């Protein structure tokens, strides 16, 4: 009897310590994370940690299982009973625990407890998801847990998971497990995700973008009773505004919304264009486009087409504000009576053209082309007999009751100086950036739009800010910077002067591996080598001399000299130089520092927003 008992104990020990190794990685774990997070499967009423390495408790796992099931929209935290001694009916996850237990996904312990705060183990988690796939205890002979663990491996539910049976699962483990379940098959052989209405592609994956686009509906304009058009509770929804994580409080009047009932997600867009209607599509009853401020826009909704149709609200010569959707097409238009608009931007150029006035009469008038903080360009007419403007000036254009007023803005340099962006770029000094903040970097007619993350940790010195604007929440909504990033230049190799005439001095250079020429008013440099060029067609408007340092170590995103690290530009240019010719290369081709001597050229230090722009490799002696 003792021998039999010892054998049973040994077998049990082997079962408990069995390692179920991960197989070759099939799924893109970053895609899995985006899909699972977008579906809200990891969300709990407790407000779980976002740290991927944090353990998941049994209580959290109970709600996650419900989130992964068809019961998701029907179960709440509330319950009228206390199923376990350590789970009172007032416990935050009581309802989810009750639902998971009643569905057979989880169970309590012999002593009548559930241990809600204990970390869920792989064995417990596998039991839950195998039940979720439609299997019962009766489907397994012998030890149920052993049979389920074997099925877990056979069905490849262990992709990207390396935990053993009794080890605790982290959030990252659960993300991979849930994604594998969604793309796995049920007892009946159906793809589980498809039984919930999610599309699985021919590679057996749930594509994040397909997931979002297939369930997205809209547009809805934020006006009147807009909340009634969103068929789920807005308080519990996820929000994105202009592609960034946001919140319900950041939704403003006349934003354009799209939503997904399945994902409980709202996408908001604040993209408005104001100007005079220059032309409407040729189909008068159902026009498909409208031209404003020198740009043609597609009318994408029935409502927008009706507004611009013959007999509609707007016609040629009217001043309107277009509300653009996610694909930059016109969703709706506002009259000047509905929305008085003030725009601020920098003049790129001025000129004269023939344009129609509000009465439809053509006249020859001066106009300016302006770029705003979002990088949008538009044309604005003005009377050059009363006032003159020139390129590079900061102007404010105000539309009131259909009449536009153009004024030169005062510089904002005295308001925001010597301030540093936070490490993530989401704050400048004591000012938070709004979720939809627009940032433009400008210099000498060249401009580029920036994401806040590009400016993380950057110090803006005196004169670094040309213009900024705050919303009612005292957040920065618009920033126009004075060459803060250095990204306005194109970086390459200056080869020297090839000639000169009345048009200027002709210089030769290499950009992106191609040799070209351009003119300038003066010699760019006394020596050849790496340089930054600001080009306007075939004219060099500005040249930037780069600083250099010897490379002691090179990574994928940085180089290091003897004392500090320098971040690489996203499009850092790498050339091999043999003493005569420059040959374009990649960093990986010349990263062996025993064979190559590397010299990095940067516009300014990383702390000031600079990057390594050019790397020159030469053979070591």
Task: Look at the block and give the residue holding tokens 């929209």.
Answer: 73
Confidence of residue 404 (pLDDT cuts 50, 70, 90): confident
Listed in sequence order, the DSSP H helices in 40-90 are 58-67
Determine, yes or no, domain membership for 384. Answer: no
Same domain? 603 vs 507: no
In this model, does residue 478 exceed pLDDT 50? yes
Predicted confidence at residue 274, as pLDDT, reads: 81
Task: Classify the C-alpha dihedral 131-133-139-140 as positive or negative.
Answer: negative
DSSP letters, 462-518, are TT-EEEEEE-TTS-EEEEEEES-SSTTSEEEEEEEEEEEETTEEEEEEEETTEEEEE
Same domain? 447 vs 584: no
Confidence of residue 78 (pLDDT cuts 50, 70, 90): confident
Residues of the domain holding 291:
274-335
**For residue range 406-449, what is the model confidence (pLDDT) as tens digits?**
989 875 544 556 789 998 899 998 899 988 788 999 998 999 99
Of 107-121, 379-393, 411-425, 471-485, which gets the smallest average pLDDT?
411-425
Average pLDDT of the residues in 494-516: 92
Confidence of residue 211 (pLDDT cuts 50, 70, 90): confident
Determine, yes or no, domain membership for 371. Answer: no
Determine, yes or no, domain membership for 376. Answer: no
Determine, yes or no, domain membership for 429. Answer: yes
Closest CA to 512 of 495, 491, 532: 491
Q: Quick one: 42 exposed, middle or buried, by C-beta within 10 A (0-12, 13-18, 19+)? A: buried
Same domain? 190 vs 42: yes
In this model, does residue 613 exceed pLDDT 70? yes
Same domain? 146 vs 56: yes
Predicted confidence at residue 461, as pLDDT, reads: 83
Predicted confidence at residue 401, as pLDDT, reads: 67
Of 348-362, 564-578, 579-593, which gets the smallest average pLDDT?
348-362
In this model, does residue 243 exceed pLDDT 60? yes
Confidence of residue 608 (pLDDT cuts 50, 70, 90): confident
Same domain? 36 vs 173: yes
CB 389 within 8 A of CB 395: yes
Same domain? 591 vs 609: yes
Burial 475-499 (b: 16+ CB within 10 A, else e): bbbbbbbbbbbbbbbbbbbbbebee
The rounded percent of the chain whose pLDDT value lies above 70 is 92
The total number of structural domains that make up the chain: 6
Determine, yes or no, domain membership for 367. Answer: no
Average pLDDT of the residues in 339-359: 82
Predicted confidence at residue 22, as pLDDT, reads: 37
Q: Which position has the higher pLDDT, 360 or 75?
A: 75
Of 42-51, 461-470, 518-527, which gets the smallest average pLDDT?
42-51
Residue that finishes a domain, picked among 236, 252, 269 = 269
Same domain? 325 vs 472: no
Predicted confidence at residue 402, as pLDDT, reads: 63
Predicted confidence at residue 239, as pLDDT, reads: 92
Same domain? 538 vs 576: no
**For residue range 169-193, what is the model confidence (pLDDT) as tens digits?**
999 999 999 999 999 999 999 999 9
Same domain? 610 vs 552: yes
Q: Which position has the higher pLDDT, 415 or 143?
A: 143
Closest CA to 579 of 531, 528, 546, 618: 618
- Stated as kind and residue range, the H or E segment containing 178 is helix 171-183
Most confident segment among 111-125, 213-227, 325-339: 111-125
Predicted confidence at residue 179, as pLDDT, reads: 95
Same domain? 606 vs 465: no
In this model, does residue 16 exceed pLDDT 80? no
Confidence of residue 3 (pLDDT cuts 50, 70, 90): very low
In this model, does residue 522 exceed pLDDT 80? yes
Determine, yes or no, domain membership for 379. Answer: no
Closest CA to 287 of 320, 309, 307, 302: 309
Question: What are the distances in angstroms from CA 439 to CA 343, 556, 605?
Answer: 14, 27, 21
pTM above 0.85, yes or no: no
- Say if strands 341-356 and 330-335 run parallel, antiparallel, or are unpaired: unpaired
Q: Which position has the higher pLDDT, 595 or 21?
A: 595
Same domain? 520 vs 572: no
Average pLDDT of the residues in 208-232: 89
Predicted confidence at residue 160, as pLDDT, reads: 92
Predicted confidence at residue 413, as pLDDT, reads: 44
Residue that finishes a domain, picked among 163, 195, 227 = 195
Same domain? 27 vs 108: yes
Determine, yes or no, domain membership for 402. Answer: no
Query: SS3 of 554, please?
Result: strand
Determine, yes or no, domain membership for 346. Answer: no
Confidence of residue 17 (pLDDT cuts 50, 70, 90): very low
């Amino acid at each position: 009897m003792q021998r039999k008992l010892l054998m049973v104990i040994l077998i049990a020990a082997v079962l408990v310590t069995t390692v179920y190794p991960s197989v070759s990685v099939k799924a893109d774990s970053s895609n899995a994370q985006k899909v699972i997070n977008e579906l809200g499967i990891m969300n709990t009423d407790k407000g779980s940690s976002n740290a991927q390495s944090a353990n998941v408790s049994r209580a959290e796992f109970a709600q996650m299982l419900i989130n992964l099931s068809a019961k998701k929209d029907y179960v709440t935290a509330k319950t009228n009973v206390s199923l376990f001694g350590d789970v009172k009916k007032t416990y935050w996850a009581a309802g989810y625990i009750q639902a998971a237990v009643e569905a057979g996904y989880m169970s309590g312990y012999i002593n009548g407890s559930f241990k809600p705060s204990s970390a869920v183990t792989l064995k417990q988690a596998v039991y839950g998801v195998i039940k979720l796939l439609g299997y019962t205890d009766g489907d397994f002979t012998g030890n149920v847990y052993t049979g389920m663990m074997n099925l877990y491996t056979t069905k490849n539910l262990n992709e990207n998971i390396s935990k053993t049976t009794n080890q605790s699962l982290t959030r990252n483990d659960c993300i991979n497990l849930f994604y594998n379940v969604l793309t796995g098959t049920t007892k009946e052989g159906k793809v589980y995700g498809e039984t919930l209405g999610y599309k699985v592609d021919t590679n057996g994956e749930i594509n994040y973008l397909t997931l979002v686009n297939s369930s997205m509906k809209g547009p809805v304009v934020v006006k009147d009773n807009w909340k009634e058009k969103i068929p789920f509770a807005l308080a519990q929804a996820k929000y994105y505004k202009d592609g960034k994580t946001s919140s319900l409080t950041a939704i403003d009047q006349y934003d354009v919304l799209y939503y997904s009932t399945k994902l409980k997600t709202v996408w908001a867009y604040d993209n408005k264009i104001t100007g005079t209607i220059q032309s409407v599509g040729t189909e008068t009853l159902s026009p498909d486009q409208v031209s404003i401020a020198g740009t043609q826009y597609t009318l994408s909704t029935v409502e927008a087409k009706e507004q611009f149709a013959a007999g509609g609200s707007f016609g040629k010569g009217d001043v309107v504000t277009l509300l653009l959707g996610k694909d930059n097409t016109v969703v709706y238009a506002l009259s000047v009576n509905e929305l008085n608009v003030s725009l601020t931007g920098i003049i790129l150029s001025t000129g004269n053209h023939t344009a129609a006035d509000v009465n439809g009469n053509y006249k020859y008038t001066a106009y300016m082309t302006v770029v705003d903080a979002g990088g949008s360009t538009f044309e604005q007419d003005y009377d050059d007999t009363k006032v003159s403007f020139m390129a590079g000036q900061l102007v404010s254009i105000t539309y009131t009751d259909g009449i536009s007023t153009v004024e030169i803005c005062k510089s904002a340099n005295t308001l925001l100086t010597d301030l540093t962006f936070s490490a993530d770029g989401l704050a400048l000094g004591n000012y938070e950036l709004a979720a939809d903040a627009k940032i433009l970097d400008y210099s000498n007619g060249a401009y580029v739009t920036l994401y806040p993350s590009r400016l993380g940790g950057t110090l803006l010195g005196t004169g670094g800010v040309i213009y900024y604007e705050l919303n009612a929440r005292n957040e920065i909504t618009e920033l126009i910077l004075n060459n803060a990033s250095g990204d306005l230049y194109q970086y390459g190799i200056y080869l020297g002067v090839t000639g000169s005439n009345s048009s200027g001095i002709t210089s030769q250079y290499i950009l992106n591996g191609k040799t070209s020429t351009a003119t300038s008013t003066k010699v760019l440099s006394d020596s050849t080598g790496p340089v930054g060029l600001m080009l306007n067609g075939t004219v060099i408007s500005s040249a930037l001399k780069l600083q250099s340092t010897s490379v002691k170590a090179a990574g994928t995103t940085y180089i290091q000299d003897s004392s500090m690290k320098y971040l690489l530009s996203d499009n850092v240019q790498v050339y091999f130089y043999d003493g005569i010719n420059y040959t374009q290369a990649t960093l990986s081709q010349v990263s062996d520092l025993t064979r190559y001597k590397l010299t990095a050229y940067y516009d300014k230090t990383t702390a000031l927003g600079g990057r390594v722009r050019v790397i020159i490799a030469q053979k070591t002696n």
